Amino acid sequence: MTEKGKYPKAHKGGKSAPPLSEEESSLFRATVGDARPLPDTGKTVFPSHRPYPAPRQTLLDERQALADSLSDHIPWELAETGEELSYLRPGMAPLTLKKLRRGHWVVQAEVDLHGLTSDEARVYLIEFLKECKKHSLRCVRVIHGKGLGSRNREPVLKKKAASWLMQRDEVLAFCQARPADGGSGAAIVLLKATAR
């Protein structure tokens, strides 16, 4: 302070601070007490270092891509009876799989994977399931083919598609399609109901 009870002139905006009244000056002195200003050491104090901005959306996208990347490993829960593959998510009633086999639910959409490479088929299947979820579809057909055109005439996509389906949260059950719906070259898939 320059004079007793008065602030020095402020330089902000070129205006000086209004003078304090005697009452304000007394209150300020009583509050400050015997406090003394710190000595000027000549050191410059820099503000604390701000953290590097994290690319949140990129991280979210990478997490989603990781969730969408499906393994080709065939989990042990996959039931194979002869050539027929079927799956029922743990906790689901066995009656669900029986109803699915009998055609209880109407097939609302389908995706045709046969003739594609494994990588292409995986991408198509992921996108198809996303669209099904978006449109609240419950029962769909996945055509994986019978493997007649593959090396050793083995149904490569059949087992991979089954494995990929099991890894998706929205898949409750699947079974081989009835002969009229594609037989051993397709699977009928039951999806979770989505809230509207």
Which CATH number covers residue 178?
3.30.1370.110
Separation of alpha carbons 19 and 29, rounded Å:
15
% of the chain surpassing 90 pLDDT: 34
User: Over the stretch 9-45, which tens digit does the pLDDT of each residue have?
Assistant: 544 555 667 888 899 888 888 888 888 888 888 888 7
Q: List Cα–Cα distances, 134 to 111, 131, 162, 195, in angstroms.
A: 15, 5, 22, 10
- The answer to whether residue 116 is domain-embedded is yes
- The answer to whether residue 91 is domain-embedded is yes
Overall domain count for the chain: 1
- The answer to whether residue 3 is domain-embedded is no
User: Over the stretch 156-196, which tens digit does the pLDDT of each residue have?
Assistant: 788 889 989 998 989 999 999 998 888 888 999 999 987 66
**Residue 190, pLDDT score:** 96
- The answer to whether residue 2 is domain-embedded is no
Separation of alpha carbons 29 and 5, rounded Å:
8
- The answer to whether residue 82 is domain-embedded is yes
The model's pTM: 0.59
Task: Quote the domain boundaries for residue 90.
Answer: 78-191
Nearest CA to 22 among 4, 2, 1?
A: 4
% of the chain surpassing 70 pLDDT: 76
- The answer to whether residue 165 is domain-embedded is yes
Q: How far is CA 124 from the centre of its chain?
A: 18
